Structure 1
Amino acid sequence: MKTISSIVLTTLAIPGALNAQDPRGVPGDSILTGTVYNVFHSEYATDQEFFHAVDRDIPAIAAAHLKDVMIFPMSQWDPATRQLRWTRTDYLVRKIEENHLKFVPLLLKEEQCGSYFPIWKFRELGLWSASDVDNGNPNNRENVDFADPRVYPLVEDYIRQVVGRYGHSPALDFYNVWNEPHYSSTAPHVVERFRGWLLKKYGSLGALNRSWGDDYDDWRDVSPFLNDDWDSSMPQTDWTLFRNELDGELLGRLTALVRSLDPVHPVNANPVGTPFATFGGFGGYNTDNWQFTPYDDFNGASYYPDAWARDHGLNRAPQWFHDLSFDVFRCAAEPKDYILTELYTNAKSGLTLGGYLDADTAREIAWTALANDCKGILWWKWQPFMRGRQSLGRGLTRLDGSLAPRGQAVRDFASVIEQHGRLLRAARLERPQAAIVVDMAGLLKVLQQQGEPRTQTFMYRDIAGVFRALDGANIPVDILRADLGLRPEELRRYKVLILPFQVVMRRETARELEDYVRAGGCVIADARTATLDELDFAYAKNPGGGLDGLFAAERSDWIALPKTFGVHVNAPGVWAGDFDGVDFRENLRVGPEASVEGVFDDDRSPALVRHRFGRGTAWLSAVPLGAGAFEKGARSAADLIVALCRSAGVTPPADYVSASPQIPMIRVHDRGDERVVYVVNAGGEALSGDLRLAYLPGTGPVAVVDLLTGRVLADRSEGAGIRVPLALPAEGVAVLHLKRR
C-alpha cells in the first residue's frame, strides 16, 4: 500500500470543466438545503454498526426534503498500517448517491486536525516535546500549526486523496475547503511573513518608524511583540490587520490547491458569525468576514446565535441581531452569494442552559436568513453529539434518530423550498438606499481601549444602534468598508451614508464624501467621527481630513463621561423631539453657512448641525446617535435616525400598518416584475393589519399567494400602491409572491 506522500493525483479530467477563474456560485438553481453528518468513528465499534446508522439516517435526511449532506470527517486512520481508511466514507457516499442526494466534503477543520494529522506525526515531525505539555487546553491538538512548512504537506496530501477519491462522484456538490477558518499561530514563519506585509505597506523602514514611533534599523528586528503604544497604536493595528488578511490568504492557498485538482466544483469557507454583531475583538474565531470573499466561489458562515444567549443572561437573540449578522454576511460576500454553511440546531451540549432551540425559533431564523438574501442553509448537525465536550448537544433529531420538533420545523421549511426554491433563489433583495460606512483601522483603535470595556465596544454599539433604528423601520442597510476602498459609482447608489463613531477618516475617503454630497447625497456623522487618520495621527482640526468644510462646523472640545446628555431637536420638515446621547459630548463651533437643528437641554449649545453643501446635505451630531439604544433609561435617537434618512428620500420598500406598535420584519425581493415579500413577526403578539408596497411594475390586478400555506390573499390595491390584508400569529412567518395577473 502506498504512503500518503507517495500518492500522485492529477487534475480531474471532467468534460465541460470550467476555467478555475470562472465565477461559480451556489450549486443548482434553487435554495440549497442540507445538514451535516458529523461522525466520531469511535462511537461505532464495528463497520457494521456504522453502516446500520447510515442506512437509517440517509433515507431520513432525504425524507426531510434536505438535499445536501456535509461529511466530516472524510476518512479514518488505521494505526496498524498508518494509512487512511476509506471503508466507512465509501459506504456513506454510496448511500448518498443511491438516495439521490448531494454531498459536501469538509476538507480542513483546524481544531479537529486528526483527519490529516494522526497523533504519531507529532513525533515524526519533531513536534512532540513542544506539544506534549499541560497548557490548560482540553483540546491541545488544536494548537497544531497547519501552515507550518513541516505540517502543510500533510494537509496537501490529505486534500489530494479526498479530491482524487470522491471528485468524480455524481453526487459531489461543492467543497467546504476550510471550516470555520481562523489562524492563530505566532511562529517565526508567521512573523517573517508579517515583515514582508509591512514592507509592502510602508516601502521603507523610515516610513514604518514614522508610523510606529519606533527606531528600527534592520527589517530583521521588526517585531509585533516589542510594542510601545505610548508612541503609536499602529504596531497592534498592523498586526491585527495582517492577521485578518492572512486568514484570507491561507484560504486562497487551499482553494488554489483544490481548484488545481478539480476545476469544476465550487469551493466555500465559513467564518464563525461576525464581530459586528457579537461585539468581539479580532482574533481566534472572530475574523474579518470580508477577507475570505476574494478566494471562495460563494461565501459561507457558521451561525450560532446561542452565543448571544450565553453573553446575555441566557435570553434568546433578538430579531435585530439576526438581521445585522446576515446583513454583514451579505455585504461581505458581494458581489457573490452567501449561505449558512453551518446553522445551529440546539444547545451546545446536553448540560448547557443557553441555546435551546424550539420549533418556532428554528423556523424564524431560517426564513429570516432567506429574507436577508441567504441562498442556502446546512444545519449542524443531523444527530446529536453522542460523546465528547458537546455530548447530547446540537442535532435535528432525537437520540433514536426521529425528528425533534426543531427538526420537524426544518423539514417543513425544506418542503417549501422543494416547491418554490427556484423562485426564492432567483429573487434578490431590493438594493438598499442607505449605507453605513466603517473603517477597520478606526474599529481596531476603539477595540484597543482595553482598560474600559464600555469604551472598547462603543463603535460596535453605535453601528448596531443605527442599524437597529433602520431595521425597526424596515429600511435595509448596506455596510461599506472605507479601508477596502470606496468607489464613486458605488456611493452614488445610495441616498444616505451614515458614519457612526468613525474615529478614523482617510483623506481620500473625505474627498469622496465631499464629492458625494456635492452631487446630491446625504451624509450623517456623529461624535468622534474623523478625529484620526489611518496611521494614528490626530487631526488638529476636526472633523479632520477636510470634513470641517463639509459640515461647516469644528469641534473645540469634548466631554467623555458614562452618562446621558439630553438633546432637543427642532428640524422643520424633518423631525422634532428629544433623545439622549451617551458617554460622549462635543462642543461645536458652527459656521454661518450651517444651521443648528438641535441643542443640548442644559445650555442650549449646538448638538445637531445641518449644512447644505452643493446639491446635498451633511448632518453632524455632537453625540453618538446609535449607542443610546443599548442604554437602559436612555431616550433613543432611533426616530431621529429614521427621519434623517427619510428626509434624504429613503423609503422602506414595504410597510405594515396595524393598530399594534409591534412591527414585523419585512424584506422585499425582486424577480423581474414580480416581488417576493418576507414578513417575520418575531414578537409575542398576534398582528392584524395591511402590508403595503409602494410600487409593483405593470398594471392590472395583483395575484398574491402565501408560499408557506398556498393561501391566496386578497388584493386591496389603490392606485399605484399595493395593499394586502395580512394577519400573523405570534412567532408567525409569511412569504408572499406578488405578480400581475
Structure 2
Amino acid sequence: MYIGVDYYPEQWPKERWKTDLELMKELGINVVRIGEFSWSLLEPEEGSYDFRLLDEAVSFIASYGMKVVLGTPTATPPAWLVQKYPEVLPVQEDGQTIGFGARRHYTVNSRVFRRMSRHIVEAMARRYGSLEAVIGWQTDNEYGHEKSDRSYGPRDQKAFQDWLKEKYGSLDDLNRRWGTVFWSQIYTDWAQIPVPRKVFQEHNPSLLLDFDRFCADAYTSYNKMQTDALRARIDKRQFITHNFVYTGLAQDQNAIAEDLDFISFDNYPVWGGLAEPIHPAAIARQHDLCRATKQGKGYWVMEELSGAQGWSQIGYLPRPGHLKLWTYQAISRGAEAIVYFRWRAARFGTEQFCHGILDHDGKPRRKFEEVRGVIQSLEPFADDFLEAVFPKEIGFYHDPENEWAWNIQPQSDNFSYPQEVLRFYEPAHALQMQTDIFREKEDLTDYKVLIVPVYFLAKKEMNEKFKQFAEAGGTIIFSYRTGVKDADNVVTDQTLPGELAELCGIEVHEYDSLRGERKGSVRGVRGALGGTGGNTEVWCDFIEPISAEVLAVYEDTWFDGKAAVTKNQYGKGTVYYVGSGLNRDMLLRLYKEAFTEAGLSLQMENTAVETVRRASGDVDYLSVMNHSTETAEHVELPAGSWKNASEKENEHVFKGLITLPPLTSIVLQKPKIT
C-alpha cells in the first residue's frame, strides 16, 4: 500500500531536502507527489523549458527508495502566459474578468490555453515518461474548484453555441425543448444564444442546465487532451489520475474518470472557518462517491488533511486520533493509497496556514508520531484488506445533473442539496448499513434497498430501472419533489410525481415551500411511524394516495390529515414516498422498517460510531471507528471471535460488546464462516 506526502521542494532550500527525506523515510513514506504548481519554474518563458530543479527533486526522492507522482502544472498558468495571452483568463457571471494572482485563472474554452497546456504536458511526459521512479501522473489539480468550473466570456459563449448546435442540430428543436416562446426568447441564429450572465430576473432553466452540461463537457475534453498527450509518451506502467472535489461543481466526474486509470480525492473533513469537522456521514458519503466514480474501483486520497487548515481563516485543529480515524475511514470505504497534505506548512504564499505533518519550524512532533503509528498499524493487513469486497445492501442515488437543477431552482431558502441528501443518507449511516452511490449505468440487481433523495430531474432510463427494480422485489425510498422535471429541465405535464406516480401509488396535487422559520407538523398513523410525530422542514408535498397506504399525515390548518408519508406495493416490491423534510427520529424509524422488511439485518444504531464490513478470500473484516472526541462508545460486534488486524500475533480476542475510547479506530478480522 502506498502512504505518501504532498511535497513542494521548490518552496524549500535544497539543503533542507536531505532532512525532509530522511524524516519521510523514518516515517515509512513510500510515495511523494510533487510538481502540480510549478509551471513558472518548468517553463520560465514560452517554449523554453528548465527541468533542472524537478530533475534534482525526482532523483533525490528516488535515492531514498520512494516513488514519485508528478502533477501536470496547468492549475497555475504563469504570469508571462497571462500577460502575453490575456484571453485565457476566465470571466465571471457579472462580466468581470478574473485576474492573475491566485490559481485556476483560466478558461478551458480558450484554444490558446489548451495549446499551452498540451505543450507543457508533452514536455514533461517526454522528460519523465520512462523514468523508473515516476509511477504515475495527476492531471491539473482539483478541476473546477474555487468557482472556476464556469466561465462566461466571449470564447466560452462561442464554444457554448457550438456545443448546442452539435447537441440539437436545429434551432427549431432547441426552441421547442427549451420553451423559448416564453418571454419572447425564440432564437433565429445560434449567435444570439447567450452564456447566462447576470440579467434582471433569472435565465431560462433549460439554458442554465445545458450551460452546466457544456461546462462539464469542456472539462472532460480538457482532461482528455492531457491524458492523450501523456499516454502517447509515457510507459504503460505509469498511471494517470486526477484529484477530484465533490461540491456541486459543473463537473461530471464519472465522464472525466473514463479517461483515467483510477480517480483520486482530496479529503478535508475540516477547513478554514469551520469550528468543527463536518458530520462523519458527510465524509463517508464523499468516499462512497469516490468509489462510485469509476463503478466501484478503488481510489487514492491524494490530499489527506494532516493539520489545521485555512488561508485567511484557520479551521479546527485535528485532535489526537483524528489522523488515524480519517485514514481508516478512507481505506475502509475504498481508498487504496493515502497521501497526506502537506509535508510541511509553507512559510509564504496563500496557504501559509495550511498546516502539515510538520509545522513551519520543520520539527517532528505529535502529528509526525501519529502518522508513524498509522503507517505501522497498516503494515500487517493493508495489502489483503485492499482486495476485500463490500456487501451490496443499499444503493444511494446521486446524479450531478440533478444537483445542478436544484442549484438553479432551490425553491426554498431552506433548501440545500448537500443538507437534504445528508438528511436521507445519515440514518442509513447511523444504522451501520453498507451504501453504494449509483447512477444510470450501474446494475441494481443485487441491492435490497434504493434510497433516492430529491429526485427532481427525472430521466426516462432511470425511471424504467426503478420500476424494474421494484417489480422484481426491491424496496425504494423516494423523497419530496420526485419526478418534477424531465431531462431538459422542463416541468412534467403529468400529475406529480410524473412518470413515477403509478410506481409510488400516489398523486401530489398541491405542495408548500416551508421558508424562513416555518415548519410543518407530522403525525405517524401506521407501521413503524404509528404513534410518533414531530416537526418537518423545507417542503410539504400533500399526497393523495391512490394505491398506497398512508403511514403519516400532516397536522395543520386546512391540510390537516393530508398524507405526508406513504408505502406502496408495486409488483413484488415496496415503494415509500416521504413527502417532506422529515425529522430524523421518524426517518430512522421508517428506515428500520424498510430495511428489515427488505431482508437486511439491522446493525447497532450509533451516530458517533461508523462500521464498515468487507470480505476477502476466507477473511471477514470489520472497521470500527468512534468519531466522538469526548465519549467512549459501546459497539456490539457481529457473532464470532475477532482479532485486531494490526497485531501481527493476533493475541487479543474481541467478542460481543466492546468499548471504543474517543477518536479510536480499529480494523478487526476473523475467519469467514462458510
TM-score (norm 1): 0.81
For residues 689 and 503 of structure 1, what CA distance do their matches in structure 2 show?
Answer: 38
Find 1:446's aligned residue among 386, 406, 423.
406
Q: What corresponds to 2:543 in structure 1?
A: 588
Q: What corresponds to 2:183 in structure 1?
A: none
User: 1:558 Cα shift?
Assistant: 1.6
With over 3 angstroms needed to count, the CA separation of the structure-2 counterparts of 1:149 and 1:197, relative to structure 1, is: closer
Percent identity between the two aligned chains: 18
For residues 494 and 269 of structure 2, what CA distance do their matches in structure 1 show?
Answer: 42
Whether 1:641 aligns to 2:591 is yes
With over 3 angstroms needed to count, the CA separation of the structure-2 counterparts of 1:141 and 1:478, relative to structure 1, is: closer
Q: What corresponds to 1:671 in structure 2?
A: 616
For residues 82 and 611 of structure 1, what CA distance do their matches in structure 2 show?
Answer: 66
With over 3 angstroms needed to count, the CA separation of the structure-2 counterparts of 1:544 and 1:486, relative to structure 1, is: farther
Whether 1:712 aligns to 2:651 is yes
Q: What corresponds to 1:720 in structure 2?
A: none
3-state SS of paired residue (1:391): coil
Find 1:606's aligned residue among 558, 563, 579.
563
Find 1:566's aligned residue among 506, 521, 526.
521
User: 1:577 Cα shift?
Assistant: 2.8
Gaps of 5+ in 2: 181-185
Contact 2:529 2:551 in 1 (8 A): no
Q: What corresponds to 2:625 in structure 1?
A: 680
User: 1:103 Cα shift?
Assistant: 0.5
With over 3 angstroms needed to count, the CA separation of the structure-2 counterparts of 1:96 and 1:555, relative to structure 1, is: same
With over 3 angstroms needed to count, the CA separation of the structure-2 counterparts of 1:137 and 1:406, relative to structure 1, is: farther
3-state SS of paired residue (1:435): strand
Whether 1:417 aligns to 2:378 is yes
Q: What corresponds to 1:474 in structure 2?
A: 432
Find 1:737's aligned residue among 652, 669, 672.
669
Q: What corresponds to 1:551 in structure 2?
A: 504
User: 1:216 Cα shift?
Assistant: 1.3
User: 1:566 Cα shift?
Assistant: 2.5
With over 3 angstroms needed to count, the CA separation of the structure-2 counterparts of 1:296 and 1:690, relative to structure 1, is: same
For residues 495 and 203 of structure 1, what CA distance do their matches in structure 2 show?
Answer: 42
Find 1:160's aligned residue among 122, 130, 136.
122
User: 1:231 Cα shift?
Assistant: 8.1
3-state SS of paired residue (1:369): helix
With over 3 angstroms needed to count, the CA separation of the structure-2 counterparts of 1:289 and 1:174, relative to structure 1, is: same
Paired AA for residue 59 in structure 1:
E
Q: How many residues align?
A: 651
For residues 368 and 165 of structure 1, what CA distance do their matches in structure 2 show?
Answer: 37
Contact 1:323 1:368 in 2 (8 A): yes
For residues 162 and 262 of structure 1, what CA distance do their matches in structure 2 show?
Answer: 10
User: 1:156 Cα shift?
Assistant: 2.3
Paired AA for residue 503 in structure 1:
F
Find 2:233's aligned residue among 254, 261, 275.
261
3-state SS of paired residue (1:704): strand
For residues 412 and 657 of structure 2, what CA distance do their matches in structure 1 show?
Answer: 50
3-state SS of paired residue (1:428): coil
3-state SS of paired residue (2:242): strand
Whether 1:59 aligns to 2:22 is yes
TM-score (norm 2): 0.88
Find 2:172's aligned residue among 200, 206, 217.
206
Contact 2:455 2:482 in 1 (8 A): yes
For residues 226 and 45 of structure 2, what CA distance do their matches in structure 1 show?
Answer: 30
Deviations 1:707-728 (A, max 9, x none): 168653436xxxxxxx544331
For residues 507 and 601 of structure 2, what CA distance do their matches in structure 1 show?
Answer: 31
3-state SS of paired residue (2:304): strand
Whether 1:234 aligns to 2:189 is no
Whether 1:88 aligns to 2:42 is no
For residues 580 and 44 of structure 2, what CA distance do their matches in structure 1 show?
Answer: 64
Contact 1:713 1:725 in 2 (8 A): no
Alignment of 1:37-76 (within 5 A): 37-41=7-11, 49-50=13-14, 52-72=15-35, 73=37, 76=41
Alignment of 1:479-558 (within 5 A): 479-481=437-439, 485-486=440-441, 490-558=443-511
Deviations 1:593-628 (A, max 9, x none): 432222224433322222212111122233234xx4
Of stretches 672-681 and 391-400 in structure 1, the one that deviates more from structure 2 is: 391-400
With over 3 angstroms needed to count, the CA separation of the structure-2 counterparts of 1:404 and 1:473, relative to structure 1, is: same
Whether 1:151 aligns to 2:113 is yes
Contact 2:496 2:508 in 1 (8 A): yes
Contact 2:30 2:67 in 1 (8 A): yes
3-state SS of paired residue (1:342): strand
Paired AA for residue 660 in structure 2:
L
Gaps of 5+ in 1: 1-29, 44-48, 276-280, 630-634, 694-700, 716-722
